[in-house]
Amino acid sequence: MKRPLVGKTAIVTGAGRGLGRVEALELGRLGAAVVVNDYGQGGRDGSGEASSGPAEEVAEEIRAAGGRATAHVGDVADFDTARALVQLAVDAYGALDILVNNAGILRDRMVFSMTEDEWDSVIRVHLKGHFNTTRFAAAHWRERSKAAGGGPVHGRIVNTSSEAFLAGSPGQPNYAAAKGGIVGLTLSTAGALAKYGVTANVICPRARTRMTEDVFPDIDLAEDRPDPLSPEHVAPLVGYLASPQATAVNGQVFVVHGGMVAILERPRVAAKLDAVGDVFGFGELDGLLTPYFDERRGEGFAALEVLSLKRG
């Protein structure tokens, strides 16, 4: 078996269950030493007592398969905890090479009913949690590059967003905003760290986990058919993006599920309208925009995307 990550060290956050768990196992299978982070709370809304159980169990799975792993229990949305997590990887294995951010919670509510705490808590865990670990990993790679005379280092960031950032997800304004923020954070990071040899990419997985049990209910499958929404379909892409083979892949957004990987383009212009004079007036805009959107009423974002592809 090819093991392209031998000698590398990875952190996977939210790795006690679901996607994070299979990603940690895959990185271990490919040869990486893995720091398995999870806060261990029982509720998918971030409630419940912290527990070392989930992280320890996944770390033990990796060790039982012949790999190296260390469990870490902590809330990555806490700045100092994220600092300590990165330092743990460096102290335990000599360096950090791969960061997979996966930790998240859900507190769903329509925007007109959402409380301040429901908004803040989801933004905190998803977006701030991704920033915190990225900040300290980036500093580590920058220092390593300086110590190597300014040369490139092996640094890989794989951040977890969602198609909710595109579609809006009406009952999840906090989650959709956080996932959109993660894309922006990742693209900014990709540009900032490229000169050090570090890459940063985003995955938008479709997978049936504790977080998505209401979105993706169980389905009946023939015995010989794999579940297209199994988290195991996502892990190979994470392993690839973490590898030396993915050196040229930077600042990309992927949708992945069920044996399919789609590479998203950056938004294109769907239509361009020019004023007759130097400045648009209300009547001119009404005459142009109202019929334009009337023709596409109810089609939403998908229609604009299709139109932009047709117009090139």
Q: Which of 121, 145, 161, 162 is catalytic?
A: 162
Cβ neighbours of residue 261 closer than 8 Å, sequence gap 6 or more: 237, 254, 255
175 is catalytic: yes
Give me 236's structure tokens. Answer: 């190979």
Catalytic status, residue 39:
no
**Which listed residue (93, 179, 196, 243) is catalytic?**
179
Joined together, the tokens standing for residue 78 give 């806490």
Is 162 labeled as catalytic in the residue annotation? yes
String of DSSP letters for the chain = ---TTTT-EEEETTTTSHHHHHHHHHHHHTT-EEEEE----SSTTS-S---SHHHHHHHHHHHHTT--EEEE---TTSHHHHHHHHHHHHHHHS---EEEE---------TTT--HHHHHHHHIIIIIHHHHHHHHHHHHHHHHHHHTTT----EEEEEE--THHHH--TT-HHHHHHHHHHHHHHHHHHHHHGGGTEEEEEEEE---SGGGTTTS------TTS--TT-GGGTHHHHHHHTSGGGTT--S-EEEEETTEEEEPPPP--------SSSS--HHHHHHHHHHHHHTTTTTHHHHHHHHHHHH-
Q: By C-alpha distance, which of 132, 133, 153 is closest to 141?
A: 153
Per-position DSSP letters for 232-261, written without gaps between them: GGTHHHHHHHTSGGGTT--S-EEEEETTEE
Catalytic residue among 39, 145, 169, 175: 175
List the catalytic residues.
162, 175, 179
